[in-house]
Structure 1
Amino acid sequence: MKLFQYWILTLTSTLLLFSSCKKDAATSADLYSAVPKSSVLVLESRSIGEALNSISQTSMYSQIDSLPPILAFAEELKSLKGNFDTDSVTDFLKKRPVIMAIALSGAEKYGALFIALGNKDFEKSIGKRLSSVYKVSQKTYSEAEVYHFYKEDKSKNYYVSSYRNLLLFSTSSFLLEEGIRQVNSEFNIKQNLQFQKLYNTSNKKDLANLYINLKELPEFLKTKLPLGNQQFISRMGSWAELDIQAYNKELLMSGLILFPENEPYFLQSFQKVKARETEGQQIVPAASGLWVSHTFANAEQYYRNYLAYLESAGRLRKHEQLLEKLDFDHNKHLLEWVDSEMGIFTTTGEGGRINYVAYFKHRDEDDAREALDSLATDFIEGYRGIIIKKLKAENALPRFYGPIFTDFHYPYFIVSNGFALFAEDLSSMKGIINDMVDGKTLGADEEFKNFSASLPSESHIKIIASSPGFLNYASTSLEGGDAKILEKNFDKLSNFRWAALQINVDDDAALTNFYMLQSTQRKERVARLWNVELQSDAANTPQFLKNYTNAKYDVAVQDKDYRLYLIDYSGKLLWTKNLDGPIMGNITQIDIYKNNKLQMVLNTRETLYVIDRLGRDVENFPVKLKEPATAPVGVFNYDMARNYRLVVPCGKNLKNYGVDGKEVKGWNFKASKHELITQPQHFTVSKKDVIVVLNDGGQLLQLNRRGEQRFEPVEGLPKLQIPFFLKERESLAKSEMLANGPDGKLYSIIPGGTADNLYLDEENPADYFIYFDEKYVFSHDEKLIIKSDNQPWSAELDGDISTRPKVMIFGNEFYAAAFSKSADEIRLFNKKGELVEGFPVYAQGPFDMGSLKQDGAINIVTYTEDGTLVCYRVN
């Protein structure tokens, strides 16, 4: 955010603040004579008025003009505009060249110096107007008059000088004085041979030209865009220049990176090595936020060049010493099988962390497997038909190939689909396998295909960034205000869908292209957001629970060793808690203390638990049940007064507990003739209510709030699939309780009245049933069927549906999803019954769905049989 603020926003807004009251000096100076020689960025526009107008008219600008930093500048600009004569400002900007130089203005602090050709009449007019709004002081610095305009509380500071026909403006007095010193210096930045070469080759007809001091850029980025160690940039070259063009939904920059032959730079590794088309899109996930690829026609020639670069840089001996720690033939095991491409890409790993995956295209699968297998530990695991192994040699990849693979210490690896892939995190590797097997790669993504068609086919280095994956990657490094801005504007920034940087090396320069594409109309897309490795296999359905501290949702799940996990929306494990058995049914949230802080109610066969958000037992809980529970606890909130009743079926008895952990006095339930087998439910319609629970003898008991019989039991019912769904009408006596039976029929029971049953579809008896949003949702074998007056539909999975489907209204749209154990898949359908793009997704267990971050995206959380909890995000 800060980087964009400096490059675009500062140029487009603060330019209008140029002013002064001093007459021109006798001798005119070139604009570049005032550019500080330590500048990290130099941006020149030869017609700033036209450039600003072109940028402001683009759709891309409209997507970012409401971001907080830009809004703040816009408000300041609005207040200042009232003091200016619009025509005089327009005339001043028309066809006027302007330079913005970014340089150090203090300790780890950067500022902007604006340089333009002066205009005495404009300067006098604007100077007077500013003097009427701001406090002003004046001093002489090196023969130049410097004016300081400021608010009395020093909240605004502008420094202006008109010197030798140049108008200098900055919010930093240091940079303004540095510009003046530079004007009087014998040295001009254009005397730098590297800068001069770039200046002479730049396209002066484009909107602007950007010159980048690559040696200084990492320190600047560290303060503005802290995305890890970026020192590698200084090793790419000395200076770079990019010509800028902006269209409605596209930003294009092209130019050169210079790397003098007499200095060591990494790009020299690609000299006299032909570039190839990238093929990594075959294995890079479509949801990856960042992908860096290197291509070469000959891997051995590339590596010889790389060693020559290290020798020129004085680092070859250190490299050799690191390799000496690897007791195997390095070339044989790490190079000879490599074909024409290597690189890294991001993926999500354990706990939602952003991890890197390394890859190498191999010449022959058997050769690659043989070379790597001999370096493997005893670890071996099969996953979806692919063998995963692990390297035993510490830091083999970074020691041999260099810093691009720094994060790979003892990586897991696979050989598949024409590539060898390496991941430090096992869950990341399994996620990559899922994406490859399910065809969720960039190579299969139509949107990426369309984007890449606009790019040069071959390049030595290609960097692809895509949103929202890149924004997730960036969010792990941002803090404070920047992180909040990103979170609040995540969806809007996600419209900047694709960006690509390509570098082609030739002699002592590299052709460089940057292309960014805005795409506001995106189809629904699904991506794996995070994984969490449980300590043993999952045992129940993951469940979304509201987090009252941030209005988002957490995920609760239990494993086969009875551990309960609570995981936040980002995949961070909050806590685990050991229970004395499997949870019966779902968890219910209550507000015991009536302070909007929620607790979890659940029961095992032996115990009733109430647990707070930190995993602690609430006072007076857990309660050891006097008889084993035979069904899940029912939680009743009579009249929404938060005076909760926790009602537990225990054999033939129905126990009623208050939130003090004690049995409720006045509860008069008489033991059932048969064992109670369903979760008690409480229904209220027009201030009339009933409590229902089914016993093993086919009786549906209908009770009042004291546990006494309210209506005669409904007799002769089969073992219904509870819960009941209430089809509410104007009164309780006219409402229907709906559930499906083992015979596939829908059972309709009117409280205190009759019971009836029928097939919703005689040819497709219901295996599972839901009544939701006036829709009858049911499944039969592999079919998912929606019966509705408005838009009925049916769809199929690749195997029988294994659990009750899930339905929801999201963004005013209806969605339905189902899981098939035999097909290892979840499918999500929209209101028309169309499969959402990106589905099916891989799953070996049931799921829950909703929006964890409440951010306009659907999340589906499921698991695999190896104990991996997986969260998918549908954008």
Structure 2
Amino acid sequence: MSVFACSKKQETDFNIIDHIPNDSEAIILTSDIHQFIETLNNNNFIKESEFGLKTELSKQLKFTQFLNFKSETSINLSNISSKPLVFSIITRKDSGLVRLDSIQNKSVETFKEEGIELQRIVLENNKFFLYETGSTSIISNSKSKILDIANERNLLNSDAFRSALNASDPNKTSIILRNSAFQRSLAFFENFNFPGFNNFAEWSSLDLDIYASEIKVNGISLSGTNKNFLDIFSDIEPREIEISKVCPEDFLTFYSFSFDSDKLKSNLKNISKDSIKRDFPEILNNIREVATIKLKTGKLFVFNAIEIETSKENLAGMGQEVEKYRNIPIFELEDPSIFKDLIPELMHIEETRFYGILDHFIIFSKNKDLIKETIADFQNSNTIAGKSYYSDLISSLSSESSMLMVSRLPELYESIKNSSNSEKLNFRKNSLAAFQIIKEDNFAHLHGIFSNSSDKSVNGNGAKQIATFKLESPTSSTPFFFKNHLTDQMDISVQDEDNMLYLISNKGTIFWKKKLESQITSPVFQVDLFKNGNKQLAFSTGYHLEILDRNGNTVKPFPVKFNDPLTQPLAVLDYDNNRTYRFVLAQGKKVYMLGPKGKSIKGFDFENAKSEIVKAPKHIRLGNKDYILIAEKSGRLNILSRQGSIRVPVNENFNYSENEWYGNEEKFISSGSDSNLISVTQSGAVSRKNLEFADNHRLVANDDLLVYLNENELSINEKKIALDFGLYTDPQLFEIGKRSLIAITDLQAQKVYVFEKNAELLPGFPVFGTSKVDIANADLDSRLELLVRGDENEILLYKL
């Protein structure tokens, strides 16, 4: 098309490039100006936001609604940072360009100046000047600009600009930028610790794709005749940028670039023509990527190592370990300034006092707590790389970059906006912008995307750590939720290695701590002895049955003390869910059933087993029938009625595994030590199914779910999930409302997994944890919370 021709044609030919002012800072090229403006106005961010450039352009170009553009048009903007903004519009001459018939308030004045005939036109109080020559119409809000163009004064004559113009796509709206004109953007790029924008390139050409919730740009930057920033990347191969794998989801910005120590030193020497040799620390010879991350609470500086063991050797002697957090050593550098201003042409780097290593990334910061937070986010899979809204955004870019900059726009805007600033930028939650540079020869490919999606599904309700609580001593038990009848929320209880039992609010306030004589040996049950909604804690220790109220006081007539040790954990039965509790304990062969007042229940006839009891007595309800199961060391299984008589005679003995008995599909099920799943009907018929269980298999079930872990394979109603090899806790099954969740913790990798009953892993998992878990709705919103031990004296609270 002639609009993109580079050579000057006859005066009668229409050629935009012959009329562009030399001081133009941004040139918008479009084949349909009205469609372009409509598309801009339909973008939800532009439509819902107010900012200076939008306001000024809307004011200055309001008159275009009265003009009938039929061909290629350029809008040339000068003095963008000033008011009023100066523009010129170049389009093909057409007798129907200005239609005055339908406009009431109008005036047209034709006059001559400097030998040039032009018109001053006012349409509905919008004034502009019009000059026509040959096949070209030129419009501007500046008479002097019109006269310069008409007299061929101060016109743009740049080979780099022509190259940028030729690179634009004639089928799209494009914008060509003079990089040096955007010095005021430097303040914004400082949020990325990026110093190179002021000398970035001479001209950049960007093709625009504008949608309701996205704006995409693709194009090139050209260096021109002078050496500049982009030449730093000459002969450095673009690589996949991986910093998102360790970048916390709640970051403000990150900026990363591909790194090659030898080539970078050579390029810097050529650009600066500096004879002084620049020395890099040896570790940089083994680095493929350098990045900086800005968070609300500080900054991180990151190396992505080619071979992490080599990098560890390079770092040896540069500092010493000062702390271990979640099994990750944190080191303090002897020289905090060793990396300060390492490559000032590419990145602003502060002093970095501490560092830790995550996978093949080395994380530096002057703030040790910031490294801890990053470790926690990494272990909890709470990095931006794991979020679908980020992967969707980044999929629009090339897989390899010389440089990549990404920002969370709502959070960044909140952190930098000035209270006196009248701008209103309406970002949707999880709005992101990414800008990618890929160096090639004497130019660079540019790719950018701004996503402001209104899709609520991108908001992500994945697991997120919301609190951490520290105890004075290491925990000795799994923390659990305890109902607070005063707030209708859940408090947290846990015991430490000093036998201290705590009750803590879900905000971290310690209500009380109570020293017990020994460790708790059973689950801690919530009971309501007085049937008034006030909950108590019931549990067994070595010799005692204890019940404490929510203030930590012993409920009389408890504790019940035994002369000999209890050999099985406490079981609490509530046959009809009417809070008429039965507390069942075992000593060797003997069974005790106590009522709410601590007295033996009369009418329960099963007092002694034939051999030692090997599992806690278990209450199972099938249909409308209650059963009490007592397993003996001999392999005998007693299935009793409420009164303690044999209700289901079982004529076989079993080689028990460590798993309990459960009710499932109207049968009693458990597993044997011989690889078999055992089923017993309510009439006593026994069947076995060989599931090739390993010796350490674990099983849990309810009425309609059968879950078992066999080596590294988790089965949920026969749906198989291959887990990493590790050391796993018994799977746990939680029934909350109509929802069933399965939790399991890899103690070796310190990862907690939670699955739906359809075997789907919940969003945001695995997360960091070192124990079994408890799951409940612990606060007043509808989302669930998960409680787990973190470090040895740490309790973690997650929201699912």
1:305 aligns with 2:216: no
1:211 aligns with 2:144: no
- Shift in Å at residue 387 of structure 1? 11
1:502 aligns with 2:437: yes
Question: Match for residue 134 of structure 2?
Answer: none
**Cα-to-partner distance string for 1:124-151 (whole Å, 9 max, x where unaligned):** 3799xxxxxxxxxxxxxx988697xxxx
Question: Match for residue 14 of structure 1?
Answer: none
CA contact (8 A) 1:799 1:822 kept: no
**Cα-to-partner distance string for 1:442-481 (whole Å, 9 max, x where unaligned):** 99x9x98998898487x6x23275xxx9689969958899
Residues in 1 aligned to 2:20 and 2:467: alpha-carbon distance in whole angstroms: 51
Residues in 1 aligned to 2:647 and 2:87: alpha-carbon distance in whole angstroms: 82
TM-score, with normalisation over the residues of structure 1?
0.57
Q: CA RMSD in A?
A: 6.7
Distance 1:125 1:205, change over 3 A: farther
Question: Match for residue 347 of structure 2?
Answer: 404
Distance 1:374 1:70, change over 3 A: same
**Cα-to-partner distance string for 1:348-401 (whole Å, 9 max, x where unaligned):** 9xx998734223658x997x787x358633559999999998754443334442
Question: Match for residue 219 of structure 2?
Answer: 255
Q: Which amino acid is 2:439 matched to?
A: N
- Shift in Å at residue 246 of structure 1? 6.0
Question: Match for residue 670 of structure 2?
Answer: 759
Question: Match for residue 714 of structure 2?
Answer: 784
1:47 aligns with 2:32: yes
CA contact (8 A) 2:256 2:291 kept: yes
Distance 1:664 1:211, change over 3 A: same
Q: Which amino acid is 1:359 matched to?
A: N
Question: Match for residue 665 of structure 2?
Answer: none
Residues in 2 aligned to 1:227 and 1:698: alpha-carbon distance in whole angstroms: 71
Question: Match for residue 245 of structure 2?
Answer: 285
> Counterpart of 2:239 in 1: which secondary structure?
coil
* Counterpart mapping for 1:295-444 below 5 A: 299-300=261-262, 302-307=264-269, 309-310=271-272, 330=279, 333=282, 337=285, 341-344=288-291, 355-359=300-304, 372=314, 376-377=318-319, 379=321, 392-402=334-344, 403-404=346-347, 406-407=349-350, 409-410=352-353, 412=355, 423-424=364-365
> Counterpart of 1:712 in 2: which secondary structure?
coil
Question: Match for residue 526 of structure 2?
Answer: 635
Question: Match for residue 207 of structure 2?
Answer: 243
* Counterpart mapping for 1:460-479 below 5 A: 461-463=402-404
1:124 aligns with 2:103: yes
CA contact (8 A) 1:500 1:515 kept: yes
- Shift in Å at residue 775 of structure 1? 0.9
* Counterpart mapping for 1:70-81 below 5 A: none
1:600 aligns with 2:541: no
**Cα-to-partner distance string for 1:776-818 (whole Å, 9 max, x where unaligned):** 32345555344xxxx4345565657531214568999966453
Aligned-residue sequence identity (percent) comes to 14
Question: Match for residue 274 of structure 1?
Answer: 235
> Counterpart of 2:221 in 1: which secondary structure?
strand
Residues in 2 aligned to 1:503 and 1:774: alpha-carbon distance in whole angstroms: 55
> Counterpart of 2:526 in 1: which secondary structure?
strand
Question: Match for residue 803 of structure 1?
Answer: 729
CA contact (8 A) 1:826 1:843 kept: yes
TM-score, with normalisation over the residues of structure 2?
0.61
Residues in 2 aligned to 1:441 and 1:617: alpha-carbon distance in whole angstroms: 34
> Counterpart of 1:302 in 2: which secondary structure?
helix
- Shift in Å at residue 94 of structure 1? 7.2
Distance 1:627 1:727, change over 3 A: same
Residues in 2 aligned to 1:42 and 1:857: alpha-carbon distance in whole angstroms: 53
> Counterpart of 1:164 in 2: which secondary structure?
strand
1:294 aligns with 2:267: no
Q: Show structure 2 runs of 5+ residues with no match.
A: 1-15, 51-63, 92-96, 107-118, 132-139, 649-660, 662-668, 672-676, 679-689
Residues in 2 aligned to 1:778 and 1:280: alpha-carbon distance in whole angstroms: 40
Distance 1:342 1:631, change over 3 A: closer
Residues in 1 aligned to 2:734 and 2:316: alpha-carbon distance in whole angstroms: 51
Question: Match for residue 163 of structure 1?
Answer: 128
Residues in 2 aligned to 1:369 and 1:625: alpha-carbon distance in whole angstroms: 46
- Shift in Å at residue 343 of structure 1? 2.8
Question: Match for residue 24 of structure 1?
Answer: none
Residues in 2 aligned to 1:280 and 1:232: alpha-carbon distance in whole angstroms: 19
Q: Comparing 204-213 with 633-642, which one deviates more in the overlay?
A: 633-642
CA contact (8 A) 2:77 2:88 kept: yes
> Counterpart of 1:200 in 2: which secondary structure?
helix
Question: Match for residue 686 of structure 2?
Answer: none
Aligned pair partner of 2:472 in 548, 554, 578: 578
- Shift in Å at residue 232 of structure 1? 3.5
How many residues of Structure 1 are paired with residues of Structure 2 in the alignment? 681
Residues in 1 aligned to 2:88 and 2:633: alpha-carbon distance in whole angstroms: 78
**Cα-to-partner distance string for 1:119-176 (whole Å, 9 max, x where unaligned):** 444873799xxxxxxxxxxxxxx988697xxxxxxxxxxxx6232259xxxxxxxxxx
Question: Match for residue 82 of structure 1?
Answer: none
Distance 1:642 1:222, change over 3 A: farther
- Shift in Å at residue 697 of structure 1? 4.0
> Counterpart of 2:445 in 1: which secondary structure?
strand
**Cα-to-partner distance string for 1:161-208 (whole Å, 9 max, x where unaligned):** 232259xxxxxxxxxxx9658857859996485995466335262322
* Counterpart mapping for 1:132-147 below 5 A: none
- Shift in Å at residue 275 of structure 1? 3.9
Distance 1:91 1:726, change over 3 A: farther
Question: Match for residue 591 of structure 1?
Answer: 484
* Counterpart mapping for 1:804-843 below 5 A: 804-807=730-733, 816-821=742-747
Residues in 2 aligned to 1:744 and 1:276: alpha-carbon distance in whole angstroms: 69
Greater fraction helix: 1
- Shift in Å at residue 47 of structure 1? 0.9
> Counterpart of 2:103 in 1: which secondary structure?
helix
**Cα-to-partner distance string for 1:268-310 (whole Å, 9 max, x where unaligned):** 334xx324252666x97387875623356xx545324324545
Residues in 2 aligned to 1:218 and 1:815: alpha-carbon distance in whole angstroms: 55
Residues in 1 aligned to 2:29 and 2:292: alpha-carbon distance in whole angstroms: 34
Q: Which amino acid is 2:300 matched to?
A: N
Residues in 2 aligned to 1:204 and 1:782: alpha-carbon distance in whole angstroms: 54
- Shift in Å at residue 859 of structure 1? 8.7
CA contact (8 A) 1:766 1:778 kept: no
Distance 1:809 1:110, change over 3 A: farther
> Counterpart of 1:646 in 2: which secondary structure?
strand
Distance 1:737 1:503, change over 3 A: farther
Q: Which amino acid is 2:318 matched to?
A: A
Q: Choose 1 or 2 for highest CA Rg.
A: 2
Q: Show structure 1 runs of 5+ residues with no match.
A: 1-29, 74-87, 128-141, 148-159, 167-177, 324-328, 530-550, 554-568
Residues in 1 aligned to 2:417 and 2:785: alpha-carbon distance in whole angstroms: 25
Question: Match for residue 228 of structure 2?
Answer: 265
**Cα-to-partner distance string for 1:51-99 (whole Å, 9 max, x where unaligned):** 478889xxxx9xx85x8x85689xxxxxxxxxxxxxx989968768585
Q: Which amino acid is 2:171 matched to?
A: D
Question: Match for residue 651 of structure 2?
Answer: none
> Counterpart of 2:604 in 1: which secondary structure?
strand
